[in-house]
Structure 1
Amino acid sequence: MRVLFFTWSYYPAPAGGAERQAKLQAEELTRRGHVVTVVCPRTSRETSGPIENVYVRRLFRIDARPLRRLSYLCALLGFSLAHIRSFDVVHIHLANLQADVIVPCALLMRRPVYIKVACGGEVGEVQRLAKVALLTRWFGLRHASCVQALSQEIVEELKSIGVPSRRIISVPNGLDYQNFAPAGPREKASLRKLLGLPEAAIIVLFAGRFARYKGLHELFAVWRTMNRPTHALLLLVGSADVDDGQPDIENGADLLVRGWTNEIRNYLRAADVFVYPSYADGMSNALLEAMSCGLAIVATRSGAAEEMIDHGASGLLFDARDQHALDASLTRVLVDSRFRKELGRCARARAGDYSIEFVVDRIEAAYMQMMRGAP
């Protein structure tokens, strides 16, 4: 099968959860014998070419911010009209404005389209594009052959804009379960030395964008005032959102900030606790990878978290913006080492249900069904 896979970024560009998921899916499809071509914007540092048997086509865009998105959408339109006919299936990884450009082209070429919606709630694709949809009417989502929802919240949002239930499938994110495995005591000590982290600390890790909706304001407020062990360390690994107001972040004895890295696995395996206070999400890749690495999870109930985590068994869940509950949950995992380790053990077991092989089984089946039903 020839798969044309559209995404907003691809390795080796700085990779967040969505980008890592795109790479995992494209490579797994290739391992199964499919021919996958990834299409994404070009930056000044990356060029088109093969990466791990996946051909990556990077399209031109103007880097100046006012024209950045518009120039890429124009390039995307030209590429789609010229090339979609050469593929069997079109896969759009993240349902943003690119869907409204690509789907009409695919319909014109009589090719089925699979779209993934990555996030629900106030920063999700459906709500975020509501103003633009006054013109586009969510054309891409409503006319796709199949739309992937990561959570029940996203399912309900899709129905609310007129996507037929029969076209919506619930498929989670996946991960490389064997690669994201817990580190033993010696390996953890070595990783901490390699990363310049204190060996004896209880490390609480947040990994992701430093954006307001990720709940960092509440996390800092709680961390500054909570009663915690003196050797507890809050470690933030990620990048700032330039369009978002940020809390003051400064390194200190109990707070350490590191820039984003494509080797987030090392930080996960060096930590003890993963905290995720986000207000909105689909299914957090970072949360899933932290579970697989055997970390004790403290997370909000946003997105698919309640479907991923059994509260009190494989993690602790709390309502977004509830600082009291966040304080209580962090305190419990920091002071009770036995409970912390048991949460991590159960989280690791639960993550085994989300292997990338299982996820691509579902996507592959959807492709086949779309092709049988394609006009």
Structure 2
Amino acid sequence: MHIAWLGKKSPFCGNVTYGKEITNALLDRGHRVTFLHFAQPDDTAEDSVSYEEVSLPFIFKSQILTIPALGSAKLLSETLQKLRPDVVHASLILSPLDLKLPEICQDLGIPLVATFHPAFDSKRRNLSSSTQHLAYQVYAPRLANYDRVIVFSQVQRALLVKLGVPAARVAVIPNGVDISRYAPGRSSIKQRLDARQLYVYQGRLSMEKNVESLLKGWRAANMHEQDKLVIVGSGPLEASLRAFYADKSIVWLGFVANEDQRIEILQGADGFILPSLVEGLSLSLLEAMACGTACVATDAGADGEVLDQGAGVILNTQKVSSQLQTLFPLFREHPDITALLGKKARSRVLERYTLSRNITLLEQLYGTIATPARNHYTLSKGA
């Protein structure tokens, strides 16, 4: 099958990782993939992969929003007409082009699938969750025109259906992890950081990630000086947070590009903390779970669903600092708790969130729409 994948390769974010993992896995299963993304014409792929690439012009690009250049929609339509893929899969990047895609693909008679990533909190308990809910309200009428919309959880599916997307078009296919790469293993990170216990946050340093509440909880817990909190990631709040929380027990690593280094950090950690106000289904959380790390996350988005029934500790988004103030000393005094939680986390990933299972479900979804749609297109043209 030939899949035209419309996604992003930069700047680094969960959407970038999602596109990389899925397209590489599809290639491994013998599919043809053409990767269309916003880039400069002379940009080249960093990874050695065997798919074709098409660059689309843009005016602005960030982790959150992409603004295409004039003519990008026409170029995309002409490219798809030339390629004639069996299906177009758009890993939506929050761009005006997302809203034009259904019309483009309908005119060409090509089935269209979307993966809808935006973080959310169905309870709307704060400004971030209310803002993200608005994004869902804006997108829902357009998503109803896609042949299929992939989301990561039943909670997210229920929200879109409530907003008017036909239930039959919304498929739940969670993020998946390569369990051979992300697995328990030897790590020297504690020795290098001279840490007795090690806790990790990995992600963007921005308001919706609520990292300051994590830092407040850490400081209030009065942890031993050899217990370390490692912050992996960058973002608009990095400078201010580093200045205010200049503490020897907090290690600021910034963005770590090397995947093997990120895996080693997770393998050596006693706990992974995700204090987000809004989330989708955090790939970083699943990676930590796959490495056998005890995980603590808020019930925003689908993360609570991932950790339910004892696979991890679930926090309320409104009480992160006080809850962590209690949890950190408990973990410090009872390391057997984190060891048990780590085993349960790994088991949960093996049960529900493997990349292999993800790709199988995706292939099945493609199969349900690609052949009928192509037959319909052929008949229409011949009529």
Q: Same fold (TM over 0.5)?
A: yes
Change (3 A) 1:26 1:216: same
1:83 equivalenced with 2:70 (yes/no) = no
Displacement after TM superposition at 1:3 (Å): 0.6
Counterpart contact for 2:2–2:32, Cα < 8 Å: yes
1:155 equivalenced with 2:157 (yes/no) = yes
Change (3 A) 1:373 1:120: farther
Aligned to 1:2: 2
Higher mean displacement: 276-285 or 244-253: 244-253
Higher mean displacement: 217-226 or 249-258: 249-258
The superposition leaves residues 214-264 of structure 1 with CA deviations (integer Å, 9 ceiling, x where unpaired) of 11121121111113333211110101137x995454543111111112322
1:299 equivalenced with 2:297 (yes/no) = yes
**What is the CA–CA distance in structure 1 between the aligned matches of 2:57 and 2:349, rounded to whole Å?**
38
Displacement after TM superposition at 1:123 (Å): 5.7
Counterpart contact for 2:218–2:324, Cα < 8 Å: no
Report percent identity of matched pairs. Answer: 23
Displacement after TM superposition at 1:304 (Å): 1.6
Aligned to 1:51: 48
**What is the CA–CA distance in structure 1 between the aligned matches of 2:61 and 2:328, rounded to whole Å?**
42
**What is the CA–CA distance in structure 2 between the aligned matches of 1:335 and 1:17, rounded to whole Å?**
34
Please point out which of 197, 213, 218 is paired with 1:218: 213
Counterpart contact for 2:140–2:160, Cα < 8 Å: no
Displacement after TM superposition at 1:164 (Å): 0.2
Change (3 A) 1:212 1:126: closer
Aligned to 2:253: 258
Displacement after TM superposition at 1:192 (Å): 4.6
Aligned to 1:100: 99
The superposition leaves residues 86-129 of structure 1 with CA deviations (integer Å, 9 ceiling, x where unpaired) of 21101011362332122211111111111111233346996353
**What is the CA–CA distance in structure 2 between the aligned matches of 1:359 and 1:337, rounded to whole Å?**
33
Equivalent residues, number: 356
Counterpart contact for 2:187–2:265, Cα < 8 Å: no
Q: Tell me the TM-score normalized by structure 2.
A: 0.84
Displacement after TM superposition at 1:43 (Å): 5.0
Letter in 1 for 2:94: N
**What is the CA–CA distance in structure 1 between the aligned matches of 2:324 and 2:216, rounded to whole Å?**
10
The superposition leaves residues 306-336 of structure 1 with CA deviations (integer Å, 9 ceiling, x where unpaired) of 321135x321111112132232233322321
The superposition leaves residues 134-159 of structure 1 with CA deviations (integer Å, 9 ceiling, x where unpaired) of xxx75531100001111233212211
Aligned to 2:200: 205
Displacement after TM superposition at 1:282 (Å): 1.2
Letter in 1 for 2:102: V
**What is the CA–CA distance in structure 2 between the aligned matches of 1:305 and 1:130, rounded to whole Å?**
18
Secondary structure of 2:317's partner?
A: coil
Please point out which of 19, 35, 38 is paired with 2:35: 38
**What is the CA–CA distance in structure 1 between the aligned matches of 2:303 and 2:61, rounded to whole Å?**
37
**What is the CA–CA distance in structure 1 between the aligned matches of 2:288 and 2:271, rounded to whole Å?**
8
Higher mean displacement: 200-209 or 92-101: 92-101
Displacement after TM superposition at 1:78 (Å): 2.2
**What is the CA–CA distance in structure 1 between the aligned matches of 2:61 and 2:203, rounded to whole Å?**
25
For structure 1, which runs of at least 5 residues remain unmatched after alignment?
none
Instruction: Find runs of 4+ consecutive structure 1 residues off by over 4 angstroms.
Output: 122-126, 248-251
Secondary structure of 2:279's partner?
A: coil
Letter in 2 for 1:101: K
Secondary structure of 1:129's partner?
A: helix
Change (3 A) 1:38 1:125: farther
Counterpart contact for 1:294–1:344, Cα < 8 Å: yes
Secondary structure of 1:143's partner?
A: coil
Counterpart contact for 1:18–1:285, Cα < 8 Å: no
Question: Structure 2 matches for 1:336-347, cutoff 5 A?
Answer: 336-347=334-345
The superposition leaves residues 276-330 of structure 1 with CA deviations (integer Å, 9 ceiling, x where unpaired) of 011111110000000011111111111222321135x321111112132232233
The superposition leaves residues 33-64 of structure 1 with CA deviations (integer Å, 9 ceiling, x where unpaired) of 11111111215983369832222323232459
**What is the CA–CA distance in structure 2 between the aligned matches of 1:373 and 1:162, rounded to whole Å?**
25
For structure 2, which runs of at least 5 residues remain unmatched after alignment?
122-127, 377-383
Aligned to 2:181: 179
**What is the CA–CA distance in structure 2 between the aligned matches of 1:31 and 1:130, rounded to whole Å?**
33
Higher mean displacement: 344-353 or 107-116: 344-353
Q: CA RMSD in A?
A: 2.7
Letter in 2 for 1:315: G
